Each structure stands twice: as structure tokens, then as C-alpha cells.
Amino acid sequence: MRVLRVDKNSKQKVIIGIVIVIAAVLAASAVLVYLGYFEKEEHVEKTTIPKEIDDRVSPLENQGLILEINRVRNRGLLDKLMTPGISWREKPTFYFIITIDDEEFDSSTEQVLFTGWDSISQEDKVVHDTPEEQAKSNVKIVLMERVKRGLLGRKYTDIERDTIQLTYDYRTGRWTGDDFFDDNDGYGHYVGEYFEVWFNVYQTDYDHDYIPYWTEVNVLGTDPMVDDSKSDPDNDGIPTTWEWKWGYDPFVWNNHAQLDPDIDGIYNTQEYQMAEWFANPFRQDI
């Protein structure tokens, strides 16, 4: 009688083969299920609820615009110093005329005449009452120089030297025109042919942090009734108002102690501390 003997090694190989086939089938099934699931997911339309924009300009405060003339410097001194003689001793006389929308302010009629090469520490301010919910205002600054004439110099002629044209946006708190954010000579700093001017433009603001209502509620998400001029939500040592003004996100930490975007050796923390002297983090101050 013939007896068939099964080789144990062959039996093990068969079992291993069957296991491999089963594993492959299971893996393929899992892949098909996975792809089928996400294919269905792709066809699911995602719906997002759009953020509601509060487009009001000044609901908490009577709307108005403030223009500060912080400093005016006559640029003619160097030419006088390079000219033989003592003509540099004769100090120039100048003033400004400001027009906001249709309202004009002539500083000469208010006895605001600057006599000297630089008006530093002689700041002046003009306040304009704006119609409620007006979106923008046109601002013009004209620098006038009073030039003596006649044999004895007792008469004079007022000559228009430099003109700055701006458009102020009450929603963003920014202005554009002959001066604008990130321009070549600095925001709030205009270098003309005859004069150099440092100025600021801002609007009436309920919480006095200089950030417009529209920007607070629609961009920053801050409370327009709470002063943010000293708050520092990202704990980077610089408050919200300064970061917003210079284009930084007040909710994102920045290493201001090491940041020096204008490479003048003055870091942002120092630029902030020198703000009252018109320091600009993006334009060299030395």
C-alpha cells in the first residue's frame, strides 16, 4: 500500500502563502474604503458664515479731524552757511495755511509766525468738525515764507513755497497723497524743496487710543470703548497702538528688542521710547 507523506516544510509554505493572500486582500479593501470615504468628503460643500462688517465710521463720538504740525524746518540754512558773509544771521519768517475739506486756517492771522530756521518745540494743532459718517477728508498744508522787499526791507511779500496734499480715511486711520505709509521720507514726514515738515493726522476717538472705531471692530477685533494705547496682548513689550500704526500685528509676538528694519542702530523698543521725538522704525533717525 502506498502511503503519501506530507512534507512539513511544504505545509508551512502553503499556510504562509494563504496568510499573505488574506492580508493583501484586507489591505486592498481598506484602501478602497479609505478612498471611497474621502471621495464622498470632497463632494461635501463646506459652508462658512461670512463675518458681518460694521461699516459705521464714528458712532460713539462726534466726528472730527485733528492735524498737528509738530515741526517745520527751513532747508535754506546750509546754502546760507556756504555763502560768504553773514547772511545766515538773517532768520527767515514763515507760516502755514491748512485747508481741511472747505475749511481754511491761516496761522498768520492767528499770530502764529515762525521766525528762525526751525520751529521745533513750537507745535500747533488744527481741529476740524467733520459731518457725521463722512468717509474721507481732503487735507492741504501750504508752507508760506514772508520775504522782505524794498530798499529798507520794511515791506514784505508772502511766497508759497511747498504744498502737501493728503486724503485721510476715517475707517483705516491712514492717509495717502504726497505723504503715505512706507514712503521714502517717512510717514508723517515730508521733505519739500524749501521746507521739511513733521506732522500727524488723526480723528476724534471715544477711547483715545488713536485707533479708529471701524479698524477696532472689523480688523483688530478690539473694544472701541477701551483704550488700547498701553495694552500689549502679545507680550512683546510694545503696546497695541504703536504696533498698529507701524504695520505690526499687535496679537503676534515680535522680537522688537532686536528688530531694526531701517538699520540705524536703534531697535524698535528704543524707537517706541523715542516716539515723542518723531522716531520712525522704518526710516533712519541718525
pLDDT digits (tens, 9 = 90+) for 31-80: 555 555 445 444 445 556 667 899 999 999 999 999 999 999 999 887 76
- Asked, for residue 257, whether it belongs to a domain, the answer is yes
pLDDT tens-place string over residues 252-270: 999 999 999 999 999 999 9
Tell me whether residue 57 is in a domain.
no
Give yes or no: residues 167 and 124 share one domain.
yes
Q: Are residues 79 and 160 in the same domain?
A: yes
Clarify whether residues 156 and 200 are in a common domain: yes
147 and 200 housed in the same domain: yes
Q: Which of 151, 173, 205 is the last residue before a domain boundary? A: 205
156 in any annotated domain = yes
- 188 and 235, same domain (yes or no): no
Indicate which CATH number applies to the domain containing 112: 2.60.40
Please tell me the total count of domains within the chain: 2
Domain assignment present for 212: no
- Domain for residue 31, yes or no? no
116 & 161 share domain: yes
Strands 124-129 and 64-74: antiparallel
pLDDT surpassing 90 at residue 178: yes
Domain of residue 282, residue span: 229-286
Looking at the structure, tell me whether residues 192 and 123 fall in a common domain: yes
169 vs 27, residue with greater confidence = 169
- The reply to whether 178 and 265 lie within a common domain is no
Residue 277 lies inside a defined structural domain of this protein? yes
My answer on whether 95 and 173 are in the same domain is yes
Whole-number percent of the chain with pLDDT over 70: 78
pTM of the model: 0.80
Question: Stretch 223-252: mean pLDDT, rounded?
Answer: 98
